[in-house]
Amino acid sequence: MAMRDTAIVAYAETKIVTKSDKDVWALGADILEELLNKTGMEKGEIDGLILSSSQTGAGNCFWAQATSDQLALEVNFCNTVDIGGCSPTGALARAAIAIDAGLCETVFCLFADTQGRENNSRPRHYQQEWTAPLGLLGPPTSFGFITNRYEHQFGLDYRMLGKLAVAQRNGAVLNDLACEKLRTPITIDDYINSRMIADPIRLLDSVMVCDGASGLLITSKKNAEKKGFKKAVFPIGYGEKTSYQFSENIVDVTNTGHMPAGERALKQAGLTAKDIKSFHPYDDFIIAMMLQFEMIGFCKKGQGCDYIREHDFNFNGDLPLNTGGGQISAGQVGLAGGGTNLVEAVRQLMGEGGKRQVKDTSNAMVTGIGGIPYARNWNTSVVMVLTPNG
């Protein structure tokens, strides 16, 4: 399979902060420098650049070219992946495709956003015309609708959602790169008693927009072997689905595109959900993680709370979950936030998790969520399986 011929040979990540004192391109330069230092590669060897979406660059139709210019990278292939929070994992998939097609050999995937410092987004779609004027003012209200619908259909034990919040916060406490404001232990009672944002969405259900950057250096497996890299991580399964069931007049909003995307990724990897050793789901809201358990097949639909009750999601548990804190407890780096969980998965598979290192590094699963429409599940869902055993 083509993706198995692609090797992630290094990762890098900046400190996540509430508002950066650095320009987004300066953060990108920091990531590039760290990747070059880690690998000993020359900048001229990088011939591909793939960026994730960012609010910072949202108004610039030449974002990939401008970033290439600012970083003095002369490349044979460049691209900005525009699928919201799915973009970092989608960028890795597209890097594998570009390398396999012979368009380039070594790709720098950069996930950077300074949304807190410089938000240049000017979205033009249904939200500005049909939802914002009526008071539907963003993701918390949309996820409130989804949560209420799920509770109506299946019942919902909010203490089990709190259990996920606590596990992620435990990871952030051990993560020196997590936003300092979030590196305070919490309990399930803290979660339950946190103030309502959009009933039933609580403060501790929700991400906090932050600034920062992360990135990967990806090359062909042949080149990685030639250069003698002792550590590498390989994508072995990927699924992506956009506008899942959008053509239907009435949909069940508790169904998401992670169902077909997860099925495709696991089939390519030759695994089942029960084989996954650590899980790094996109986590803009706690309920989204529980839905992904159900959609990807960790448990049956409607049984998410029972599944959470039966498992330990800390780094030393039976299914480590977003071991660096995820976006909710490490900070969401704008639209590049999905890179936080992706890089943490790579870090763990390379055995470099430090105080939060997981025991079983045979594989990891990473997911993405991109876009939140009205009266539908999210716009794009991605699922990727990674392994250090190339």
- Statement: residue 2 has pLDDT above 90: no
Based on the fold, state whether residues 223 and 204 are members of the same structural domain: no
- Choose one of 179, 200, 227: the last residue of a domain: 227
- Within 40-138, residue ranges assigned H as helices are 63-70, 87-100, 126
Handedness of CA 214, 219, 223, 229 (dihedral sign): positive
- 296-338, pLDDT tens digit by residue? 999 999 999 999 999 999 999 999 999 999 999 999 999 999 9
Mean per-residue pLDDT of the chain: 95
- Choose one of 195, 227, 259: the last residue of a domain: 227
Q: CA angle 387-371-78, nearest 5°?
A: 60
pTM: 0.97
What confidence category does residue 375 fall into, taking pLDDT thresholds of 50, 70 and 90? confident
Based on the fold, state whether residues 217 and 266 are members of the same structural domain: no
Identify the burial level of 62 via C-beta atoms within 10 angstroms of its C-beta, where 0-12 means exposed, 13-18 middle and 19 or more buried: exposed
Where in the sequence is the domain holding 286, given as residue range(s)? 129-208+236-387
Q: What is the CATH number of the domain that holds 375?
A: 3.40.47.10
In this prediction, residue 167 carries a pLDDT of 98
User: Which residues, including other chains, have CB under 8 Å from residue 15's CB and lie 6 or more apart?
Assistant: 176, 177, 212
Based on the fold, state whether residues 195 and 245 are members of the same structural domain: yes
Based on the fold, state whether residues 215 and 174 are members of the same structural domain: no
Based on the fold, state whether residues 204 and 214 are members of the same structural domain: no
Based on the fold, state whether residues 201 and 143 are members of the same structural domain: yes
Based on the fold, state whether residues 243 and 356 are members of the same structural domain: yes
Based on the fold, state whether residues 190 and 60 are members of the same structural domain: no
1 vs 328 pLDDT, higher one: 328
- Statement: residue 102 has pLDDT above 90: yes
Based on the fold, state whether residues 221 and 201 are members of the same structural domain: no
Based on the fold, state whether residues 73 and 175 are members of the same structural domain: no
Q: How many domains does the chain have?
A: 2
Q: How many CB atoms lie within 10 A of CB 200?
A: 16
- Choose one of 178, 196, 227: the last residue of a domain: 227
In this prediction, residue 137 carries a pLDDT of 72
Based on the fold, state whether residues 246 and 307 are members of the same structural domain: yes
Do the beta carbons of residue 22 and residue 85 sit within 8 Å? no
Based on the fold, state whether residues 261 and 166 are members of the same structural domain: yes
* CA dist list (Å): 207 to 20, 168, 328: 17, 12, 4
222 vs 132 pLDDT, higher one: 222
